Amino acid sequence: MNIIWSDLAKEYYLYIIEQLFEKWNISIVEKFENETITLIQNIAIHNHICPKSKIANYHKCFINKHISLIYRIENQSLEIITLLFNQSEHLY
């Protein structure tokens, strides 16, 4: 399965990494990266393991208790739409 990151997802991913590094330490950053990679690998195998979001054809997965990943499956591709903080106001 082809994995595609939207520009928005890339931007938020890097922002989250920067925030974690500034406020915590490298081990927390590595833990977040591993959680994200593992989740994406699981989604690639089991496309609909996460519940649908409020927006049609999108799914929302918790990476951890603070951050979620929004994705969709389209034409044998896993498109990562965005990452978001769970306590934020959002459309998903």
**pLDDT at residue 34, as a whole number:** 98
Main-chain dihedrals φ then ψ at residue 36, nearest 5 degrees: -65, -45
Task: Tell me the pLDDT tens digit for each residue of 38-58.
Answer: 999 999 999 989 999 888 899
pLDDT beyond 90 at 6? yes
The whole-model pTM stands at: 0.90
| For residues 58-63, average pLDDT | 96
**pLDDT at residue 55, as a whole number:** 87
| For residues 11-35, average pLDDT | 96
How many of the other CB atoms lie within 10 Å of CB of 11? 13
- Domains of the chain: which residue ranges? 58-85
Beta strands in 27-76 (DSSP E): 59-62, 67-74
**pLDDT at residue 92, as a whole number:** 78
